[in-house]
Structure 1
Amino acid sequence: MTDTATDTITDVISERTTHVIAAEINMIKYQTEKIYLAAAVEIGRRLTEAKALLNYGEWGKWLEESVDFSQSRANKLMRIFKEYGAEQLTSSNSDPDPNLNYSQAVLLLGIPKEERAQFIIDMDIEGMTKQELRQAVNERTQTRQEKDRASQENADLQKTVKDQSGIITELTAELANLKVQLENVKTSKAELDKTARELKDSLESLQQSSSAKGYERMKTNFINTSLKVRANHIAFLCENLDKTIKEVKHELLQIAPNDKETYITYKNKVYDHLNVWLKDETWSRQARPGEDAQ
């Protein structure tokens, strides 16, 4: 009876099916990749050590002649060592989980190191196929890229708004300054008109008076006052002309580095105006009577 039961159990255990064979193959693959990961870490450790000992320019030749590695493969192994050092593979508190195999470790390089442990926990990667893990890593990478892109776009937008706000502030201040200048011109003209009217009224009143002497005196005062007012107005205009020319010069110098064509066009316009004014014979004709009088 005992022998019959033992034979039955043995028959069940030894029964070979494709499912059993596939499970054994997958187990061997998993164990092999775990061993390969440990080996890759140790190779990466030694490659890192060798590179530090070689002179500049010797690395590629040494890889080809000594270990028959391409630089891309060597870089991959050194990164695996950096990310999954031997102390991480043997520590119970390691990050990432010490049960990773080589394929999983390579795919997880796509996850930033500081996020990798939580990703492993969230995704429960031990139960995932290689294809499923690759898809999960790609989705996480895409999500992060979209988040980073949105963050960058937001930062760019904020910078644009800030720059435009600065421009608006400058333009507002410039507009306020122009308004002040316009008011000054209006005030000066209004004062000149008022003085002229007062003098005209006084002159007309004096003309109606019987005192010719008082009339002449008032006429002289009127002329002198008018000249003084006009001189003050001319001084005001000259001051504003000087300020305008300086502002034009300042604006042209500001725009010159980025818009040479506009700079040259308006600089020449300024020169042309100055030349026209200097060549105007009216200046000479008006000066001659005074010269003759002297």
Structure 2
Amino acid sequence: MTDTIGTVTDVGSERTPNVIAAEINMIKFQAERVYLAAAVEIGRRLTEAKALLKHGEWGKWLEESVDFSQSRANKMMRIFKEYGAGQLSSSNSDFNPNLNYSQAVLLLGIPKEERAQFIVDMDVEGMTIQELRQAVSERTQALQEKDQALEVNADLQKTVEDQSCIIAGLTEELDNLKSQLENAKTSKAELAKTTRHLKDSLESLQQSSSAKGYERMKRNFTNTSLKVRANHIAFLCESLDETIKEVKHKLLQIAPNDKETYIIYKNKVYDLLKMWLKDETWSRQARPGGDAQ
């Protein structure tokens, strides 16, 4: 190293501040270059020693044997891991950047898989430490923004998937309601068809049967009509029961997240039930001679 420094000093006959600065910077670069190689070798040996020590002995060994803190040792081992696998040797790799220690440490802030391309793109060897620090900071910020954008995109994708599930559920529920409505329409149509058939039979018997037979058939028709109406009422009661159960189920579903809506429609159901129970038509129709509807 002394020979190298002597050679730089002998260049040029005129000593100027710029020449002296160039010599100082060259010496600094060479010293840090040597220090980087030394740090790699120290990191190599620290890695080897840690693998040999028992659990719990690492910190004590560092303090007593080499006077290193764990933080400094970890830094050296990372330098070995990142730069010690032949990366600084042109015989082992086509990519052989001429880095010094300060540059190598700053470049630890760049992901390993992107570091080689970053060195080429930014011409790191020709940058000052301050310029490199700024470039690494900007790249780190760009990577963070990229990660944040990916995270936001993932959240949006999840939201879209959740909304799709909700839409699918609502669509299925709508299809079920449509099916129930169709069943109700079919039952009502069947009842109407049966009623028309009975009326047609009665009219036919009125025209072809004796008065006694007509009265008997009239009674049969009346009884049958009552049964049909009773069945219709049973169907309506069953539908009403299912509807009330469905309303109750839906209200209990939304109660945890929409208490206001839950209370409004729960009270509305109570009010309807009270109104129906207070309707005097129920009592009046139950009396003898009450008007039939």
TM range (shorter): 0.7 to 0.9
Partner of 1:159: 158
**Could you say if the C-alpha distance between residues 95 and 219 of structure 1 is closer, same or farther in structure 2, counting changes exceeding 3 Å?**
farther
Residue number in structure 2 paired with 1:191: 190
TM-score (norm 2): 0.73
- Alpha-carbon separation, structure 2, partners of 1:96 and 1:249: 72
Q: How big is the alpha-carbon RMSD for the aligned residues of Structure 1 and Structure 2?
A: 4.4
Give the direction of change, closer, same or farther, for the CA distance of 1:96–1:247 in structure 2 (3 Å limit).
Answer: farther
Shift of 1:210: 8.0
d(CA) in 1 for partners of 2:107 and 2:42? 19
Q: Give a deviation string over 1:155-211, Cα, whole Å, max 9, x none.
A: 221221122112112201211210221222233234324544554576578679883
Other-structure match for 1:129: 128
Q: TM-score, normalised by structure 1?
A: 0.72
Superposed displacement of residue 24, structure 1: 1.1
Match of residue 85 from structure 1: 84
* 1:260-287 deviation line (CA, Å, top 9, x unaligned): 9x99xx9xxx9xxxxxxxxxxxxxxxxx
Q: Number of matched residues?
A: 276
Match of 2:210 in 1: 211
Distance 1:73 1:173, change over 3 A: same
* Paired position in structure 2 for 1:117: 116
**Contact 2:90-2:96 at 8 Å conserved across structures:** no
Where does residue 172 of structure 2 map in the other structure? 173
Equivalent position of 2:139 in the other structure: 140
Structure 2 partner of 1:13: 12
Gaps of 5+ in 1: 1-9, 271-294
Give secondary structure in 1 for the equivalent of 2:98. coil
| Compared CA separation, residues 156 and 70, structure 1 to 2 (3 A) | same
Question: Aligned letter for 1:74?
Answer: A
Q: SS in structure 2 opposite 1:89?
A: coil
CA drift of 1:87 comes to 2.2
Residue 100 (structure 1) aligns with: 99
For 1:122 and 1:25, the matched residues in 2 are separated by 27
Unaligned runs of 5+ in 2: 1-8, 270-293
Q: Could you list the per-position Cα deviations for residues 219-278 of structure 1 after superposition, in whole angstroms to 9, with x for gaps in the alignment?
A: 233234335434644664576578668867987997899999x99xx9xxx9xxxxxxxx
The separation in 1 between residues aligned to 2:184 and 2:204, in whole angstroms, is 30
With over 3 angstroms needed to count, the CA separation of the structure-2 counterparts of 1:259 and 1:81, relative to structure 1, is: farther
Deviation by residue 1:120-144 (Cα, 9 ceiling, x = unmatched): 1111111110011111111112222
Does the Cα contact within 8 Å between 1:41 and 1:86 map onto a contact in 2? Answer: no
**Correspondence 1:50-61 to 2 at 5 A:** 50-61=49-60
How far 1:98 sits from its partner (Å)? 4.2
Identity of matched residues, % = 84
Superposed counterparts of 1:184-263, under 5 Å: 184-196=183-195, 199=198, 211-230=210-229, 232-233=231-232, 236=235
> Larger deviation: 125-134 or 219-228?
219-228
